[in-house]
Amino acid sequence: MFHLYKYRLKSFLKNREMIIWSMIFPFLLGTFFYAAFHSITEKSEKMDPVKLAVVCDEKGQFAEFIDSMKELKFLDPVFVKDEKEGKKLLGDEEVTGLVICGGSEMKPELDLKVRENGIESTILTSIFDTYLRNYQVITDVAKKNPLLITKTVEELYKDEEFTKNEPLGAKNADPFVTYMFALLSMTCMFSANFGHENTKQIQADQSGVGMRRSISPTSKMAAVFTDLMAALTVEMVIFAALYFYLGKVLGVVMSEEYGKVFLSGFLANLLGTSLGYFIGVILKLPAKTKEAIISAVVLFMNFMSGLMIQNIKYIIEKKAPVINRINPAALITDSFESLGAIDDPHKYVVCTIGVAVWAAVLMILSIIILRRERYDHV
Amino acid sequence: MDTVVKIDKLVKKYKELTAVNEFSLEIKKGEIFGLLGPNGSGKSTTIGCILGLLKYDSGNIEVFGKPMKSDSYDSKRKIGVIFQNVAVFDELTVYDNIDYFCGLYIKDKETRKKYVEDAIKFSGLEDFTTFLPKKLSGGLLRRLNIACGIAHKPELIILDEPTVAVDPQSRNSILEGIVRLNREGATIIYTSHYMEEVEQICTRIAIMDTGKNLAIGTTEELKNMIKTGETITVEIKNASDGLIEEFGKLPHVIKTEYADDHLKIHYSKGERNVLHLVDFLKKKDLKFGKIYSELPTLNDVFLEMTGKELRDKA
């Protein structure tokens, strides 16, 4: 058995095309994600509250709003007596902006002055525009139909809500890290290519090597097992290398519970490989077509799990959560996320079991088909 | 003599097409048995059925006295196959490929090492053991294919058109190798559509066409099955129709053909046909040039036999 495993492993390692795509692609994509998103995240993480001079009635509604923004660490307000004092602070570069609240209680007017255009002035503009728009809407509803106020407030904040991560003890739930977990999931799912390659080399109707092996006295199960182990060895090395590259080189905060990470990685790679086996044995199509189908299926599953657009997964969670419960890529992403980002042991267990069940079902079905005694054509 | 392979009324259909039709044969130990037939005649399908790779519709196949099943490991251990297409791992070296495929049969490391070295020596690949298949020429690749198939020293070796697209030098080397394997004790099944090869090495031959076994026997037996026993060609100028008709009336003559001053006379059987013909030419006082006799080849046998089959179809 070791003899067969050794040479299968060797043939995988010397398959340059396969190794390059399996290894280089995720590394490049990880580096790309790092370059594209990490600076943004880092900037927003390190951004101090925007210093702002405020001229308004300290007991009014606008002052309450300013206080709430202060609590959320968006703003660092300084209440001043008048516009002159505010302008002085602005001129001395003590504050980034000056806001003067005027108008009436029913129709407030805000006069915003900023020191210079930039990300902080954009934040200020956005905050006060939203405030005025929402204030106006609520006031209008209160006038026309006070019973609808609660519903209106809910609607106004709905959009804001669904773009937030679920607050499950989040320790690192920023979009950048989520992309990295989706990348790990994609890498594991693309192990399907190894599974497909194994089906080519074991079925008599797929290759000459498959024919040779089919007529040998080595049982199909032994051949499947050694091939699978060889594929998983390569996949786990790639997975470990990527995990450490993301964690140690790119500095992504990853879980250091290596036992659990290894288990998740192993099951995820087994699932990916099993998917490749399944597609390889169930479809009677040319190998290149099957490879294209594998790529399409894996990318679609990963798209649905938030690889390309992070919000997709949360939209699905709101509209059709069952998809996230059965999408293998989402399960893999969630299992890594529950270890590395949101520290949710229950979710980890549920997702890991889900991944294991998928892997087992696909592999058992594949083996049943692979064990057939004779072929229609060779 | 022990029977190594026995096929009884094998039928294999691909939807509407009957690839093998009521095909029967028995191959004895120590034979080099040729399956001769054109492309699509059902040779490879028959081999697939013998190896237990293909489902078949009816009939029985026994290898080493036992039905061939997917778990007939004892029988499988004694069989080696050399496929038409080269079947090796592209990423493994010559040595690794032979070692891998030998390892499917031989578990003992020391024995396997010796067998692999023997196979390398047998196929003349000593200088190429570290080469990847893509670095080998077509002929060397064929030799690697053979080495992978015979490294475990099988008792029955099946070669499915191993010389297709092979240069003459490599072809001779392959044919010599097959004869050597046979001398060392292996029973050989050799499929080909090259008549000369089959005639050169096979001790018995089955002629296949459209899945049927048209004839089976030694080369001589097959030649005796057809009408033509001998063809004598005479170089003779301006032979008249009347004269040609007279040639046609000579004893044992089946038919005559005259073209380009050459008269071909086909004899069924008979002895000393050339002498009788020369006597006839002298008697008629005819001037003639070269005169030579040809015995029938397997090509003549095949053409005559498949010609009948084709006529039946039409």
Nearest to A3 among B14, B103, B149 (CB): B103
Nearest C-alpha of chain B: how many angstroms from A212? 7
In terms of residue numbers, what domain contains A301? Answer: 2-40+172-370
The answer to whether B7 touches B50, Cβ cutoff 8 Å, is: yes
Q: Are A244 and A357 contained in the same domain?
A: yes
A314 lies in a domain? yes
Mutation choice for B interface testing from A19, A215, A369 by most B CBs within 10 A: A215
Give the type of residue at A242. Answer: L
Residues of chain B found within 8 Å of residue A200, distances taken between Cβ atoms: none
Within 13 Å, how many C-alpha atoms sit on residue A355's CB side?
A: 28
Indicate the angle between helix axes A258-282 and A220-244, nearest 10 degrees. 130
CATH for A59: 3.40.190
- DSSP state, residue A189: H
Q: Are A180 and A211 contained in the same domain?
A: yes
Indicate the SS3 state at residue A188. helix
Which range, A26-30, A144-148, A340-344, is most confident? A26-30
Strand order through the sheet with A50-55: A75-79, A50-55, A97-103, A108-114
The residue assigned the tokens 């050794």 is: A6
Greatest Cα pair distance, chain A, in angstroms, is: 95
Q: Are A272 and A349 contained in the same domain?
A: yes
Angstrom distance (rounded) from CA A358 to CA A352? 10
Phi, psi for residue B167 in degrees, rounded to 5: -70, 160
A167 lies in a domain? no
Angstrom distance (rounded) from CA B89 to CA B101? 10
A1 touches B at CB < 8 Å = no
B57 touches A at CB < 8 Å = no
Domain boundary among A127, A143, A162: A162
The answer to whether A332 touches A353, Cβ cutoff 8 Å, is: no
Residues of chain B found within 8 Å of residue A14, distances taken between Cβ atoms: 91-92
A319 lies in a domain? yes
pLDDT of residue B238: 86
Q: Are A203 and A350 contained in the same domain?
A: yes
Angstrom distance (rounded) from CA B256 to CA B248? 6
Q: What token pair was written down for B81? A: 């196959």
The residue assigned the tokens 């301006």 is: B238
A375 lies in a domain? no
* Alpha carbon separation from A187 to A252, A295, B106 (Å, rounded): 17, 11, 37
Residues of chain A found within 8 Å of residue B92, distances taken between Cβ atoms: 7, 10-11, 14
* Alpha carbon separation from A233 to A226, A238, B159 (Å, rounded): 11, 9, 36
Angstrom distance (rounded) from CA B246 to CA A45? 112
Q: Is B104 within 8 Å of A218 when comparing Cβ atoms?
A: yes
Indicate the angle between helix axes A258-282 and A345-370, nearest 10 degrees. 30
Cα dihedral angle (A254, A256, A260, A261), rounded to 10 degrees?
40
With CA atoms as reference, the chain B residue closest to A10 would be: B92
Nearest C-alpha of chain A: how many angstroms from B53? 5
Residues of chain B found within 8 Å of residue A220, distances taken between Cβ atoms: 70
Q: Are A210 and A178 contained in the same domain?
A: yes
pLDDT of residue A138: 81
Could you write out the DSSP letters of every residue in B187-237? EEEEEES-HHHHHHH-SEEEEEETTEEEEEE-HHHHHHHSS--EEEEEE-S
Angstrom distance (rounded) from CA B114 to CA B95? 12
Q: Is B100 within 8 Å of A7 when comparing Cβ atoms?
A: yes
User: What is the residue-level pLDDT of chain B in tens, covering all 314 positions?
Assistant: 589 999 999 999 998 899 999 999 999 999 999 998 888 889 989 999 999 889 899 999 999 999 988 788 899 999 999 988 899 999 999 999 999 999 999 999 999 999 999 999 988 899 999 999 999 988 889 899 999 999 999 999 999 988 887 788 888 888 988 999 999 999 999 998 888 888 889 999 998 888 998 889 998 888 888 888 888 999 999 888 999 999 998 988 988 999 999 999 988 877 788 888 999 999 888 889 999 998 888 878 887 877 643 233 33
The answer to whether A19 touches A10, Cβ cutoff 8 Å, is: no
Q: Are A138 and A218 contained in the same domain?
A: no
Calculate the average pLDDT of chain A: 84
Q: Is A211 within 8 Å of B53 when comparing Cβ atoms?
A: yes
Q: Is B54 within 8 Å of A208 when comparing Cβ atoms?
A: no
List the 133-152 stretch of B: residues with Cβ below 8 A of A.
148-149
Q: Is B89 within 8 Å of A201 when comparing Cβ atoms?
A: yes
Domain boundary among A137, A162, A187: A162
**Per-residue pLDDT for A372 more than 80?**
no
DSSP E strand boundaries for B15-103:
17-28, 32-36, 58-63, 66-67, 79-82
Q: Are A9 and A80 contained in the same domain?
A: no
Q: Which residue has the higher pLDDT, B199 or A104?
A: B199
* Alpha carbon separation from B10 to A255, A369, B20 (Å, rounded): 63, 26, 7
pLDDT of residue A41: 58
Closest alpha carbon to B54 in A192, A215, A103: A215
Q: Is B92 within 8 Å of A7 when comparing Cβ atoms?
A: yes
The answer to whether B291 touches B234, Cβ cutoff 8 Å, is: yes
A377 lies in a domain? no
The number of folded domains in chain A is 2
With CA atoms as reference, the chain B residue closest to A17 would be: B91
Q: What token pair was written down for B223? A: 């030649």
Q: What token pair was written down for A320? A: 């059709």
Residues of chain B found within 8 Å of residue A374, distances taken between Cβ atoms: 52-55, 70
Q: Are A30 and A80 contained in the same domain?
A: no
Domain boundary among A142, A162, A182: A162
Could you write out the DSSP letters of every residue in B137-185? -HHHHHHHHHHHHHTT--SEEEEESTTTT--HHHHHHHHHHHHHHHHTT
Angstrom distance (rounded) from CA A301 to CA A185? 10
Q: Is A3 within 8 Å of B83 when comparing Cβ atoms?
A: no
Closest alpha carbon to A107 in A137, A144, A69, A79: A137
Q: Are A246 and A324 contained in the same domain?
A: yes
B127 touches A at CB < 8 Å = no
Q: Model confidence over A312-363: pLDDT tens digits? A: 877 887 788 888 889 999 999 989 888 876 667 888 899 999 999 999 999 9
* Alpha carbon separation from B61 to A90, B83, B161, B171 (Å, rounded): 98, 20, 21, 31
> What band does A128 get if pLDDT is binned at 50, 70 and 90?
confident
Residues of chain A found within 8 Å of residue B70, distances taken between Cβ atoms: 220, 373-374
Nearest C-alpha of chain B: how many angstroms from A216? 6
Within 13 Å, how many C-alpha atoms sit on residue A103's CB side?
A: 15
What is the set of domains in chain B, with CATH numbers? 3-224 (3.40.50.300), 227-295 (3.30.70.270)
**Per-residue pLDDT for A274 more than 50?**
yes
The residue assigned the tokens 């997975």 is: A239
Could you write out the DSSP letters of every residue in A263-287? HHHHHHHHHHHHHHHHHHHH--S-H
pLDDT of residue A160: 47
A346 touches B at CB < 8 Å = no
Nearest to B83 among A3, A7, A208 (CB): A208
The answer to whether B161 touches B193, Cβ cutoff 8 Å, is: yes
Q: Model confidence over A211-230: pLDDT tens digits? A: 999 999 998 889 999 999 99
Pairs across A and B, CB distance < 8 A: 88
Q: Is B104 within 8 Å of A216 when comparing Cβ atoms?
A: yes
Strand order through the sheet with B3-14: B17-28, B3-14, B58-63, B66-67
Q: Is A212 within 8 Å of B83 when comparing Cβ atoms?
A: yes
A31 touches B at CB < 8 Å = no
**Per-residue pLDDT for A45 more than 90?**
no
Q: Are A154 and A197 contained in the same domain?
A: no
List the 91-110 stretch of B: residues with Cβ below 8 A of A.
91-92, 96, 99-101, 103-105, 107, 109
Residue A346 C-alpha from the chain's centroid: 19
Angstrom distance (rounded) from CA B76 to CA B96? 22
Task: Let me know how many helices (H) and strands (E) chain A has, helices first.
Answer: 18, 4
Residues of chain A found within 8 Å of residue B144, distances taken between Cβ atoms: none
- DSSP state, residue A78: E
Strand partners, B205: B34, B217
* Burial of B297 from C-beta contacts in 10 A (0-12 / 13-18 / 19+): middle
**Per-residue pLDDT for A6 more than 50?**
yes
Q: Are A17 and A70 contained in the same domain?
A: no
Nearest C-alpha of chain B: how many angstroms from A374? 5
* Polymer length in residues for chain A: 378
Gap between the terminal Cα atoms of chain A: 26
Mutation choice for A interface testing from B49, B54, B77 by most A CBs within 10 A: B54
List the 214-273 stretch of A: residues with Cβ below 8 A of B.
214-220
A349 lies in a domain? yes
A19 lies in a domain? yes
Q: Are A216 and A157 contained in the same domain?
A: no
A378 lies in a domain? no
